[in-house]
């Protein structure tokens, strides 16, 4: 039996969506690990955080615990967002989930990431001499995540179109 170009394209976009869903989940894990590393291992980030809160007298142990709890809640939210998008994309490929509401989350997340990149870029221009390898690596990772999220949106839309077209062809045959 010969495969049509639509069937070949459908398999290709399904592979893309499955891989992008898994990549989204992995980026979530990386983001959580990175956040904990920044707060626990980088004393400059920790001190900047304390200064931005505006606390002058504090118990270091209690404050560190409060910051870790706050980072934990933020990390849970971020991980949930990544997991929701990634798992929903994989389920869509496998046919377990026909709803495409995760596309709304993906689009919003993409816009948030684009805004974050613009902010990081603007901040790095004002502090040219403070440009670090970590900042460059973070920007590259953020740009990669934007491509992954864009691929999730594009592949989902292409899969939907190709499935409809193939169903029409099979119905008329």
**Tens of pLDDT, residues 106-137:** 999 999 999 888 777 666 555 555 556 667 77
Q: Where are the domains of the chain?
A: 8-164
Tokens of 46: 């920790």
Lowest mean pLDDT among 12-21, 28-37, 40-49, 72-81: 40-49
Q: What is the reported pTM?
A: 0.81
CB–CB of 20/151 below 8 Å? yes
d(CA 110, CA 87): 17
> What's the pLDDT at 1?
43
CA dist 146 and 142 (Å) reads 6
pLDDT band with cut points at 50, 70 and 90 for residue 42: low
Task: Write the DSSP assignment of 51-82 as a string of letters.
Answer: HHHT--S--HHHHHHHHHHHHHHHHHHHHHHH
SS3 of residue 42 by DSSP: coil
């Amino acid at each position: 039996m010969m495969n049509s170009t639509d069937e070949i394209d459908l398999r290709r976009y399904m592979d893309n969506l499955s891989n992008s869903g898994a990549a989204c989940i992995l980026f979530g894990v990386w983001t959580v690990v990175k956040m904990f590393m920044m707060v626990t291992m980088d004393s400059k980030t920790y001190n900047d955080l304390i200064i931005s809160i505006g606390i002058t007298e504090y118990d270091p142990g209690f404050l560190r615990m409060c910051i870790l709890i706050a980072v934990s809640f933020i990390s849970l939210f971020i991980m949930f967002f990544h997991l929701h998008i990634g798992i929903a994309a994989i389920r869509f490929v496998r046919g377990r989930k026909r709803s495409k509401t995760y596309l709304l989350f993906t689009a919003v997340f993409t816009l948030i990431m684009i805004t974050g990149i613009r902010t990081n870029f603007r901040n790095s221009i004002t502090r040219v001499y403070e440009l670090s390898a970590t900042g460059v690596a973070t920007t590259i990772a953020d740009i990669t995540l934007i491509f992954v999220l864009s691929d999730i949106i594009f592949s989902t839309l292409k899969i939907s179109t190709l499935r409809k077209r193939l169903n029409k062809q099979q119905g008329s045959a």
